[in-house]
Structure 1
Amino acid sequence: MAAGSQLLLLLLLPGLTAASHSPPGCKIRITSKGLDLVKHEGLRFVEQELENITVSDLHGKEGQFHYNISQVKVMDLQLPFSNLHFQPQQHLAFNINNASISLRFRRQLLYWFFYDIGSINASADGVHIHTVLQLAKDEVGRLKISNMSCNASIARMHAGFSGTLRKVYEFLSTFIVTGMRFLLSQQICPSLEHASLVLLNSLLDTVPVRNYVDEHIGIDYSLLRDPVVSPETLDLDFKGMFFYRAREDQELENHAVEPVIKETERMVYVAFSEYFFDSAMHAYFQASVLAMQLEGEKVPKDLEVLLRATFFGTIFMLNPAVVDAPLRLVLQVSAPPRCVIKPSGTSISVSAFLNISLVPADRPAVQLSSMAMESKLSAKVYLQGKALRVQLDLRRFRIYSKQSALESLALFSLQAPLKTLLQLTIMPIINERTKKGVQIPLPEGMDFTREVVTNHAGFLTVGADLHFSKGLREVIEKYRSAPAVPAEPTVQTTAASTGPHQL
């Protein structure tokens, strides 16, 4: 009995493992080169936070020496040695070594009968700060800093006194310097903890997770699992699934090849599997918008003449009275288009049907033909800013009758004119939609530069460098007073569809 249970477990184990690891439709890798850029911007942010450190007043008594220190203000920071690096399995480590902090504070001193008031300049030298940030996926699938450890120390501190009692102050300054050194070191980590867990997390809130692309579909960029950190890279697995807005909870199963990013030369790599594009076309198909209709004057004149000549006999057999009625062409995709990504390029296969009818006024339409169409589009995928864009071109096209092979032969003369119709009339409309693109999940203020697209078997990668169009502080201040980003989808005003709309 025990042996049978073990055998059953062994048989089920592969299926359970596959179910627990859902392949991503979109994957992002940040390399150590990208982290170096983040370090420079992050260091500016840390300087700004440390400059705003609030140190509580220091007062006390040592024998006949009474002191009160207040209005402590950081005047200058020197952070000559800093390092930001990946720390497996889920951490970023940020170190500052041998830094110095210049302070200025107000003094009130009483020694026997001598009372003095004024300002003191002080400096903290040999400042060492070691922080480790833990990265994780939160409940809605957004990347967050979930925890932070911090250790700060000050090797030495010096206070400069002036005036007639300078020698006395220098002798008694040990009490002041020791106290200030303790208070300052105790405020460094709380300041950085607030900067990380509150301010930087508000920056991560600007990363799109579940957004509406247009009035028909949305995109789900939720993380599938916690980030994976190696000594050289940070990998993020996103669902990367488009959805039909009327059925937001419906899942499209992912059977595509999982993207594999091996490169580390650029600052960032973004990979998209065939599933990413298939889900977009499936969502539009569900929305019933992959259709176009041309009627009357919208039908090109040359094509209208050819169609009337081709179906002249059919018209007289069905109803000669409608021979001069306007033509109507209805093109409807019959199944969700499929994307195929190969090292040689990206293509999209589309199956559709074309209904040709006459539409006399105040009378039912007279159908002349219903033909099937199969086409293959080549897709040029490129990145501009943070928008993924697609340029489509019609490569292969054929039509055939759904009724008989004989009718398919008769339709052969229509193949070239209908292909021209698609190229000149329909493809420009589709490309006008797709060129607006879909946003990639990056924080606000960070953009791609020098993008290079590389095709692989089943997925493509975009290698790029990064640059900050806005500083961290600027973005954080913009959203500090704004309400928290909701888990529900939000409308993406700058992005548009990745497929054609119904006219």
Structure 2
Amino acid sequence: MTWGPDNVRKWSTLALLAIMGTALTAATDPGFVAMISQKGLDFACQQGVVELQKELQAISVPDFSGVFKIKHLGKGSYEFYSMAVDGFHIPNPEIEMLPSDGLRLSIKDASIKINGRWTSRKNFLKASGNFDLRIQGVSISADLMLGSDSSGHITTICSNCDSHIDSVRIKISGSMLGWLIQLFHRKIETSLKNIIYKKICKIVRNSVSSKLQPYLKTLPVVYRVDDVTSIDYRLVAPLTTTNQFLEGQLKGEFFWRGHQGPLPIHPPVMRFVPNSDYMVCMGISDYFFNTAVFAYQESGTLKITLGDPSVSVDGRFQLNTDFLKTFLPKVAKKFPSMGVQLLISVPSSTHLSIRPSGLSFNPKLEIQAFVVLPNASLVPLFVLGMVRRKTNASLEVDAKENRLVGEMKLGSRLLLELKESKFGPFKVEYLEDVINYIVSTLVLPKINERLRRGFPLPLPAGIQFSDFTFYPYQNFLLLEADLHLI
């Protein structure tokens, strides 16, 4: 089912899309798998080469001079100066996956246009003018090796760079004596060819080390979700490549920022065949979702306290001791017309299951009731729990920009059971309407408000989904998507 820049950013997309995470950990199974197709790498390549082209167009060509000797005319001198690159055309850049942990950028049939001024002297004769230099058949091959440092940040180096120039042609204008320069054009063309040749790979390497690498260090390996939780997207295994995909196995684990330790749950095995028609494919396991529940439960966030002012429906009932007299007359008699407070919490982590039919779980709630005395102290009354296997809920998942969003829905009424009472047993059915109303109108909207804000997915800055499709499988959710720049 289908639901619905700066310069450095574009250039860095090339490596950012390829890694989707950073440092290695001791875990063996991922909670999150990110796969980049050749289509995705081609998209990154186009964006990166746009910025590399700007770097190459800024090549600084130094002035150079020399002497010439012509039979019967003797010696003279020449100088070329004020040279500037007027264009660096890159027609068809390509990127491919290396069999280890890197990428190879290949540029063929590029061309460079350089213009400038020239001067020639022979005895008392002096000539000057303009020139145009055409450099054809420029090829560049650069290997980008990806890794991580001790702090867990992405590292990338240009491990190898080669360039080649097929031909250089110079055109002299501006003086009738320009033919003098043409007589030794091969020497001039060779000199300029050597200058450009040496600078190309130097610029490529410098662009990687001085711009791309510092930018990669700004990408966090841990994404802050809110004031309570973060998501750990570190790699749990080295990157692997095939002919069509680059795969990163990520930890994909929520954790409470007040404590991060071993969890009582483990990631399932995810097996799927990625679709090369999309730029990225992401396998999101039920471990990812269940660690979120565990983190919020462990932090004490999954609690809602409700009192009399917040609960009333057209005068049908008020949350006070007068309302309880029907089934707890002792309470109403001992604490007449006093407020009642309800603490709704999740006593233990709820396990969410992903199956081909969708995402579902059996919610676990505990409702504790207290009398609120005039001095604000609380007197415990009773504890209600949910009847197991009698209530189910579902989670609908969507993507918005670069975040995973959702909406929770209850599939049936909450059925309750009395777990403890300080004032004797009573029929729980009397309270089920009230609790179901509170959950549907107060608790569930608060949960969905948080789910609509979403949780960040491991995408680089400046990238968003353009088209995406979700498929539920056994124990994981598959997201297939294309990307676009923002």
Shorter-chain TM band: 0.7 to 0.9
The letter of the residue matching 1:185 is Y
Give, in whole Å, the separation in 1 of the partners of 2:405 and 2:104: 35
Equivalent residue for 2:304, pick from 281, 292, 313: 292
1:76-101 CA distances to partner (integer Å, 9 max, x unpaired)? 22323332222222222221112211
Show the counterpart of 1:442.
459
Show the counterpart of 1:378.
394
Give, in whole Å, the separation in 1 of the partners of 2:317 and 2:278: 50
What count of residue pairs does the alignment treat as equivalent?
447
Find the residue that maps to 2:392 and give its secondary structure: strand
1:113-166 CA distances to partner (integer Å, 9 max, x unpaired)? 333344321011111111222222333334432343111111110111122112
Give the superposition deviation at 1:401: 1.5
Find the residue that maps to 1:454 and give its secondary structure: strand
Q: How do residues 91-240 of structure 1 correspond to structure 2 at under 5 angstroms? A: 91-162=102-173, 163-240=175-252
- CA pair 236-344 structure 1, distance change in 2 beyond 3 A: same
Residue 427 (str. 1) matches residue 444 (str. 2):
yes
Give the superposition deviation at 1:187: 0.6
Q: How do residues 449-460 of structure 1 correspond to structure 2 at under 5 angstroms? A: 449-460=466-477
Equivalent residue for 1:47, pick from 53, 62, 65: 53
The letter of the residue matching 2:372 is V
Q: How do residues 25-36 of structure 1 correspond to structure 2 at under 5 angstroms? A: 25-36=31-42
1:230-274 CA distances to partner (integer Å, 9 max, x unpaired)? 211111122222221222x43436512133341222111122111
- CA pair 408-431 structure 1, distance change in 2 beyond 3 A: farther
- CA pair 462-313 structure 1, distance change in 2 beyond 3 A: closer
- Larger CA deviation: 428-437 vs 411-420: 411-420
Find the residue that maps to 1:161 and give its secondary structure: strand
1:283-319 CA distances to partner (integer Å, 9 max, x unpaired)? 1112111101111221225354798555545342x57
Give the superposition deviation at 1:321: 3.7
Residue 273 (str. 1) matches residue 273 (str. 2):
no
Show the counterpart of 1:360.
373
1:312-332 CA distances to partner (integer Å, 9 max, x unpaired)? 45342x572412111111112
Find the residue that maps to 2:238 and give its secondary structure: coil
The letter of the residue matching 1:217 is T
Give the superposition deviation at 1:431: 0.7
Unmatched tracts of structure 2, length 5 or more: 1-24, 70-74
8 Å CA contact 1:304, 1:327 repeated in 2: no
The letter of the residue matching 1:77 is F
Give the superposition deviation at 1:403: 4.0
8 Å CA contact 1:141, 1:224 repeated in 2: no
Show the counterpart of 1:339.
352
Show the counterpart of 1:57.
63
8 Å CA contact 1:270, 1:461 repeated in 2: yes
Give the superposition deviation at 1:68: 2.9
CA RMSD of aligned residues (A): 2.5
The letter of the residue matching 2:419 is K
Give, in whole Å, the separation in 2 of the partners of 1:179 and 1:408: 99
Show the counterpart of 1:482.
none
The letter of the residue matching 1:149 is N
Give the superposition deviation at 1:388: 0.8
Show the counterpart of 2:20.
none
- CA pair 154-453 structure 1, distance change in 2 beyond 3 A: same
- CA pair 363-153 structure 1, distance change in 2 beyond 3 A: closer
8 Å CA contact 2:157, 2:208 repeated in 1: no
Give, in whole Å, the separation in 2 of the partners of 1:364 and 1:164: 104
- CA pair 305-188 structure 1, distance change in 2 beyond 3 A: closer
- CA pair 67-226 structure 1, distance change in 2 beyond 3 A: farther
Give, in whole Å, the separation in 2 of the partners of 1:209 and 1:224: 12
Show the counterpart of 1:320.
333
Equivalent residue for 1:67, pick from 36, 61, 78: 78
8 Å CA contact 2:278, 2:481 repeated in 1: yes
Give, in whole Å, the separation in 1 of the partners of 2:244 and 2:376: 71
Show the counterpart of 2:21.
none
Give the superposition deviation at 1:334: 0.6
Give the superposition deviation at 1:229: 1.8
Give, in whole Å, the separation in 2 of the partners of 1:142 and 1:224: 14
- CA pair 366-254 structure 1, distance change in 2 beyond 3 A: closer
Give, in whole Å, the separation in 2 of the partners of 1:120 and 1:30: 46
The letter of the residue matching 2:172 is F
Give the superposition deviation at 1:437: 0.8
Show the counterpart of 1:256.
267
8 Å CA contact 1:346, 1:380 repeated in 2: yes
Find the residue that maps to 1:418 and give its secondary structure: helix
Q: Identity, % of aligned pairs?
A: 24
Show the counterpart of 2:11.
none
- Larger CA deviation: 416-425 vs 25-34: 416-425
Give, in whole Å, the separation in 1 of the partners of 2:393 and 2:39: 36
Give, in whole Å, the separation in 1 of the partners of 2:408 and 2:184: 79
Find the residue that maps to 2:415 and give its secondary structure: strand
- CA pair 187-379 structure 1, distance change in 2 beyond 3 A: same
Find the residue that maps to 2:268 and give its secondary structure: coil
Give, in whole Å, the separation in 2 of the partners of 1:253 and 1:72: 67
Find the residue that maps to 1:28 and give its secondary structure: strand
Give, in whole Å, the separation in 1 of the partners of 2:79 and 2:392: 81
Give, in whole Å, the separation in 2 of the partners of 1:57 and 1:224: 52
